[in-house]
A and B are shown apart, each in its own frame.
Chain A
Amino acid sequence: MSMQLLSILIVSVLAAPLISLAGRRIRHERILVSVYVISVLLCVLLLSIIHFLSIMRGETVLATYGDLPPPEGSSIKADVLSIYMALIYLGVCLLASLFSARIVARSKVTAYFSIILGMVTAMVGVVFSEDFFTLFVFWEAMCICSYSLVSINKEREESIEASYKYLIMSSAGSISILFALSFLYGLTGTLNFQSLSESLSRAEGNPMVHLAILMLLVGFGLQAGMVPFHTWLPDALCAAPSAVSAIFSACTEKTGLYCLLKVLFVIFGLHHEDWHVPIAVFAVLTMFVGNISALLQDDLKRLFAYSTIANTGYILVGIAVGTPRALAGSLFHILNHAVVVSLLFLCVGAFIRQARTQSLREIAGIRHTMPLTSIAFIIGALSLATFPALNIFWSEIMIITASWEAGMAWLSFLMIINLLFSAAYSLRIIQWIAVKRMTYISRRANEAPLSMIIPIFVLAFTAIFIGVYPAPFQRLAEIIAEALLPFK
């Protein structure tokens, strides 16, 4: 069983350099490379589904490497939460690479796809790792891949600038994580998650623990787009190609949130009183800054980047409340938001390819010339506007009612205000796309090719399916939340 778990990582690790080595030989043939990448991702996705089924039957999967047993040596482990996250990542990356198969320039195709494969591997590695040692290595690999993905259009100066900004901020965050790890190591003498939480339950009230929590919060929160550290995110998402923006806001950000969850609940779970108020403050700040900045944006990608920040805020609300139901709401929202935001970014990518602009004003009325993409886009925007019977509605209701039940009514009240904001900008987008008169640019556009329509419609269908039939997903999120919480 452990070999199979490793095989998920091994297949994708080996697959990544292979295409860059073979790139010269096959003369950067676009179809060949993209078919190869998609089949590798499909293989890995199938492997993880098999794992998911066996984990749901109650097996735990643990693989150690090296000679030392787990508390000393390093190990990877798949539990329900990590396989859930891995499935989200693999699904989104599969659809995004299918989408970008026709778009990437031929000279860059091998570099682009090998970096994407490397990034998927690193993200799956982060969620499978069972100690901080492994986690940090995969984390840095993920960060390096994402810096280079942002700057992949190195002819455009904005992507260079965004990538520079991202690199500086994110490496500062990684160093803050490293510092916190050194504190934790000094306190306990181990980096394994289980042993850390056992040792830290004895270290009550040590100021070093608080410092470590704060530094981990800065480091992981930076990647998740938490508000004082969010400034890289709109620039990076705006400058990257659309499929990469989808992967960023649906996967890389969620990896930051996953690490926050792991740190706060598994390692510092018994220090809940210490951290839940600061997290709530961060959550409120994140929601308000994200939503208010999104209200008046004209650039579609920048708008969705800010809305991503706001949705990170909603997830943080669930984490701050910390009851099983609220946590289940957060986990469910991670899935829903990943589906919706990647749908929206892929649609924007289709608009950009066909109309050569990402300004909302210039693509007004584009539904007449690109009906299929616009329908999917409107479904996504409605879901973002908390329209009932679409997926985001259910998770947001879960978070709001749970924080109400837990006696944090102010938090749910503030969140409802924010939902009004997000409904306002989503409806504004729909109005521009569907109701306004056509501009010159949108009259010239025509429908996107099939390889772009398919991933968009798969995502739109998933959004509707979860919205109409949310019960099994909610149940899954509740199972994960119960497994994650140390106290019942």
Chain B
Amino acid sequence: MGLEIMMNAANLNFIVFSSQAAEGAVHPLAHVFTILSISIGGCVIALGLVITIYAYRHYGTLDVRELRRLRR
């Protein structure tokens, strides 16, 4: 969830800058980029949720403090 919010911040920043850079009109490149990065973000989050489900099956909890068996 935190990752998604960070992603949104970056995308918003992109749009803001795009309307600033070219006076008057909003540059289409930034929009294309933003839409693409939103969809990429969706893919990453989907994969993250899949891995989270597997983590839940193995550990029986989603507490991050429990997921530290690799620490040595």
Closest-by-CB residue of B relative to A170 is: B44
CB distance from A306 to the nearest CB of B (A): 13
Closest-by-CB residue of A relative to B30 is: A185
- The answer on a CB contact under 8 Å between B3 and A154 is no
User: A441 on the interface (CB 8 Å rule)?
Assistant: no
User: In the complex, which of the residues B7, B55, B68, B70 has the most CB atoms of chain A within 10 Å of its own CB atom?
Assistant: B70
Closest-by-CB residue of A relative to B17 is: A186
CA distance A235 to B70 in the complex (A): 7
Closest-by-CB residue of A relative to B36 is: A137
Interface residues of B, dominant DSSP: helix
Q: Which of B3, B29, B33, B54 contacts A175 (CB 8 A)?
A: B3
- The answer on a CB contact under 8 Å between B29 and A167 is no
Interface residues of A in 267-302 (CB under 8 A from B): none
- The answer on a CB contact under 8 Å between A133 and B33 is yes
Interface residues of B in 1-40 (CB under 8 A from A): 3, 6-7, 9-11, 13-14, 16-18, 20-22, 27, 29-30, 32-33, 36-37, 40
Q: Which of B9, B22, B51, B70 contacts A147 (CB 8 A)?
A: B51
User: B61 on the interface (CB 8 Å rule)?
Assistant: no
Closest-by-CB residue of B relative to A163 is: B51
Q: Which of B10, B21, B36 contacts A179 (CB 8 A)?
A: B10
- The answer on a CB contact under 8 Å between A160 and B55 is yes
User: B65 on the interface (CB 8 Å rule)?
Assistant: no
- The answer on a CB contact under 8 Å between B17 and A183 is yes
CA distance A151 to B37 in the complex (A): 24
Closest-by-CB residue of B relative to A140 is: B40
- The answer on a CB contact under 8 Å between A151 and B3 is no
CA distance A143 to B45 in the complex (A): 12
- The answer on a CB contact under 8 Å between A136 and B69 is no
User: A182 on the interface (CB 8 Å rule)?
Assistant: yes
Interface residues of A in 166-182 (CB under 8 A from B): 167-168, 171-172, 174-175, 178-179, 181-182
Known interface pairs A133-B33, A158-B69, A182-B13; A164-B52 also in contact (CB < 8 Å): yes
Instruction: List residues of chain A with CB within 8 A of the CB of B29.
Output: 72, 133, 185, 191
Closest-by-CB residue of B relative to A302 is: B72
CA distance A303 to B9 in the complex (A): 38
What's the tally of chain B residues with a CB closer than 8 Å to chain A? 36
Interface residues of A in 228-264 (CB under 8 A from B): 235, 238-239
User: A482 on the interface (CB 8 Å rule)?
Assistant: no
Closest-by-CB residue of B relative to A236 is: B70
CB distance from A478 to the nearest CB of B (A): 36
Q: Which of B3, B40, B48 contacts A137 (CB 8 A)?
A: B40
CB distance from B28 to the nearest CB of A (A): 9
- The answer on a CB contact under 8 Å between B20 and A186 is yes
- The answer on a CB contact under 8 Å between A164 and B44 is no
Closest-by-CB residue of A relative to B46 is: A144
User: A198 on the interface (CB 8 Å rule)?
Assistant: no
Instruction: List residues of chain B with CB within 8 A of the CB of A182.
Output: 10-11, 13-14, 17
Closest-by-CB residue of B relative to A66 is: B32
Known interface pairs A143-B44, A144-B44, A178-B37; A162-B70 also in contact (CB < 8 Å): yes
User: A449 on the interface (CB 8 Å rule)?
Assistant: no
- The answer on a CB contact under 8 Å between A189 and B22 is yes
Instruction: List residues of chain A with CB within 8 A of the CB of B68.
Output: 161
User: A29 on the interface (CB 8 Å rule)?
Assistant: no
Closest-by-CB residue of A relative to B70 is: A235
Closest-by-CB residue of B relative to A137 is: B36
Closest-by-CB residue of B relative to A162 is: B70
Q: Which of A157, A183, A185, A238 contacts B59 (CB 8 A)?
A: A157
- The answer on a CB contact under 8 Å between B10 and A178 is yes
CA distance A158 to B67 in the complex (A): 9
Closest-by-CB residue of A relative to B55 is: A160
CA distance A72 to B18 in the complex (A): 13
CA distance A172 to B41 in the complex (A): 11
Interface residues of A in 90-135 (CB under 8 A from B): 133
- The answer on a CB contact under 8 Å between A171 and B3 is yes
Closest-by-CB residue of A relative to B16 is: A186
Instruction: List residues of chain B with CB within 8 A of the CB of A167.
Output: 44, 47-48, 51
Instruction: List residues of chain A with CB within 8 A of the CB of B6.
Output: 172, 175
User: In the complex, which of the residues A147, A235, A239 has the most CB atoms of chain B within 10 Å of its own CB atom?
Assistant: A147
CB distance from B33 to the nearest CB of A (A): 6
Nearest first, the 5 closest Cβ-Cβ pairs linking A and B are A186-B17, A189-B21, A182-B14, A157-B58, A178-B10
Can you name 10 extra interface pairs (CB under 8 A) apart from A144-B43, A161-B68, A167-B47?
A147-B44, A147-B51, A164-B48, A171-B48, A175-B3, A178-B14, A182-B10, A185-B29, A186-B18, A238-B70
User: Would you give 26 A-B contacts (Cβ < 8 Å), ordered by A?
Assistant: A133-B33, A136-B37, A140-B43, A140-B44, A144-B43, A147-B44, A147-B47, A151-B54, A157-B69, A158-B69, A158-B70, A160-B54, A161-B67, A161-B69, A162-B70, A163-B51, A164-B55, A167-B44, A175-B6, A179-B13, A182-B13, A182-B14, A183-B13, A185-B29, A185-B30, A191-B29
